[in-house]
Amino acid sequence: MVLMLLAAALPARGQEFATFLAALRADSFADKEQAVAALGKLGDGRAVAVLTALKDGRLLKAPDGRVIISQPPNLIDPMTGEVVPDLTADALDRVHINNRLRGAIEGALGELTLFSADPAARLAAARDAVRHPSVDGAVLLEKAIAAEKEADIRAAMQQSLSAARLLSGSKQEKLAAARALGTTTDPQIKNLLDQFRAASESDPELRQAADAALASIKHRLWLVGLLANLFQGVSLGSVLLLAAIGLAITFGVMGVINMAHGEMIMLGAYAAYVCQQVFRAFLPVGWINGYLAAALPVAFLCAGAVGVALERTVIRRLYGRPLETLLATWGVSLILQQTVRSIFGSPNREVANPSWMTGGFDLIGGFTVTWNRVCIIFFCLTVLAALALLLNRTSLGLQMRAVTQNRPMASVMGIRTARIDALTFGLGSGIAGMAGVALSQIGNVSPNLGTIYIVDSFLVVVFGGVGNLLGTFVGALFLGIVNKFLEPVAGAVLGKIVVLVTIILFIQRRPRGLFAPKGRSAEAEA
C-alpha cells in the first residue's frame, strides 16, 4: 500500500521539486526563502543536496534556467544527480544568501533529513524532532512515516509525531497521542507530558489521559532502573566471581592465604595484552579478532606456572602458618607488581575488545546491554561449571579433595600429596590468569590491577564460606547485586562502605561464612 501511494505521489512531486528549484533563482531573498521552506516541506531526498549546497555557496545558476550544484571538480544537476559535462563553474553565477535565509535553510534541512538515504541520519532526525514539536513538523512526520520502511525508525518517528500532536492536534488526536506516549521512557517526553498536563488543567478527560501516561512512564522508568541495576549487579557479580574462583581454590580448598592472587589476575591481563600485540604485529589483519582464543590458554599457563613456582618455593614451607603465608605472599605480590612495572611501564595498557564483543543492544528504552559484559557473565559461568566438573568428576579432583580433607590418610592411600598441592595451587592461579583476560576486556590493564580486586575477592570467599564453590557463587552474585542497588541510593563510595561494614558484621555472626562446612570436613579443618 505504501509503495502504491509512493508511486502515485512521485510524478506530482517531481514536478513540484522542479518548480521550487527554479524559484531559488529569484532575485528577492523573500522569494528564495519561500522556495527553501517549500523544498523543506516537500520531503524529497534530493532537496538535501540542494539546500546544503545553497548554504555553502555552491549552488550556481546556469544560463538555460537550470540550477546546478558545484561539487569540485564536477558540476551536478540536482534533478537527475548526474554530472553536467558542458559547463564550467567559472562561467556561472552563485545563488546568494543572507543570514535570514541561512536560518531557513537549516530549519528545512533538519526536517529533510527525515528523508535522507542514510538510516542513521533518519533515526537521528526522528529523535531530534521530539525536541521541537510543531504543526508543520507533524505534517512532515506523517509523510516520513508513510515513506519509512524500517520499523524502528518508523517507531521513533511515530513517537515524535505523537509528541507534536500532543501540543497541536485535535482533542481525539491528543488523547491518542497521550496514550501512545505512555510506552516510552524518554525524559524529554515526560517533560512534554508534564507541560501538557499543566496546560489541560480545564479538561478532565485530557488530564486523566496525561496522568495515565505519566504513571505508565514512571512505572516503565522504575522497571528499566530495576533491570539496569540487576544487569549491572549480575555483571559486577560475575567479575567478582571470576576474580574469586581461583581464590576459592587456593584459599577455600587449600587454606592458603594468597595475597599475590590479585597479581595472578594482573599477569593474565598482561598475557592478553601481549597476545594482542603479537597478533597485531605478526599475523594477518583479519586474525586480530581471534587473539582472545590464544590469550586464554596463554594466561592460564603463565599464571599457573607462576603459581606452581610460588607453591614450590615459598608456600610449601609455610603450610599450617597462615599468617606467615599471608605476609610472604604479600611480598611476592609486591615483587610481581614491580617486575611488571619494570617490563611494561606503569601507564595503563589498552586491550581492545574484538569486534564481536563491542557494542550492545537496546533491551528496553534507554538501557543498553553491552556484549562484553554479557560475554563475561557466560565465560564466568563456564569456568565455574568446568571447575565443578573437575573437582567432582575427575580423579585429579578426587585427589585434591582427599588431600585437603585428610592429608595423612590421602598419603597413606598412595596419593602424592606434594604434587597435588602444587597442581591445585597452579589450577587456582591459572583460573585467576583467565579471569585477568576477561577483566582486560572491561577495564584498563595496569600493574595495580590486582590490588583493586584482592580485598573484594577475599570478602567474596569469606562471605560465601570457605571451601565451597556454591558459596563463592552465591556470595559474588549477592555482593555484586547489593552493591549496584545501593549505588543509586547511597552513591558509589558510600554503597561500597555499607557493603564492607555489612560483611564485617556478617562475619561476626557467622564466622565461617554463608555456607559453613558441616560434618567431618568441618572437624578436619578445625
333 binds another protein per the rule CB under 8 A? yes
Q: Which is nearer to another protein, 231 or 478 (CB)?
A: 478
From candidates 30, 83, 389, 500, binder to another protein by CB under 8 A: 500
Distance CA 32, CA 96 (A): 10
Q: What are phi and psi of 321, to 5 degrees?
A: -125, 75
Which residue number, 219 or 510, has a Cβ lying nearer to another protein?
Answer: 510
Please say which residue, 146 or 326, places its beta carbon nearer to another protein: 326
Does residue 376 contact residue 442 with C-beta atoms inside 8 Å?
yes
Sorted by sequence, the CB contacts under 8 Å of residue 179 that are 6+ apart come out as: 209, 212, 213
Site string for another protein, 267-306 (x = CB under 8 A): ----------------------------------------
Q: Please count the helices (runs of H) and the strands (runs of E) in the chain.
A: 21, 7
User: Is residue 441 within the footprint of another protein (CB under 8 A)?
Assistant: no
CA dist., res. 407 & res. 398, Å (int): 13
Least Å from the CB of residue 475 to another protein: 14
Q: Identify which range of 11-19, 107-115, 300-308, 333-341 contacts another protein by CB under 8 A.
A: 333-341
Residues 6 or more apart whose CB falls under 8 angstroms from that of 15 comprise none
Cell of 192: 512534554
Instruction: Kindly identify the residues of this chain, within the stretch 307-326, that bind another protein according to CB under 8 A.
Output: 314, 317-318, 321-326
* CA–CA gap between residue 47 and residue 36 (Å, rounded): 9
- The secondary structure of residue 74, as a DSSP letter, is E
Distance between CA atoms of 216 and 135, rounded to whole angstroms? 26
Closest residue by Cα to residue 387 from 351, 344, 434: 434
Smallest separation, CB 510 to another protein (Å): 9
Q: Does 334 bind another protein (CB under 8 A)?
A: yes
337 binds another protein (CB under 8 A): yes
- Residue selected from 330, 344, 367, 371 as contacting another protein according to rule CB under 8 A: 330
Per CB under 8 A, does 503 bind another protein?
A: yes
CB-based contact 460:292 (threshold 8 Å):
no
Q: Which of 6, 386, 504, 522 binds another protein (CB under 8 A)?
A: 504
- How many whole angstroms separate alpha carbon 406 and alpha carbon 359? 50
| Residue 136: exposure state from Cβ atoms within 10 A (0-12, 13-18, ≥19) | middle
State the number of binding residues for another protein (CB under 8 A).
41
Of 163, 164, 308, 462, the one binding another protein by CB under 8 A: 462
Q: Which of 328, 439, 449, 476 binds another protein (CB under 8 A)?
A: 328
Binding site for another protein (CB under 8 A): 257, 314, 317-318, 321-328, 330-335, 337-339, 341-342, 451, 455, 458-459, 462, 493-494, 496-497, 500-501, 503-505, 507-509, 511
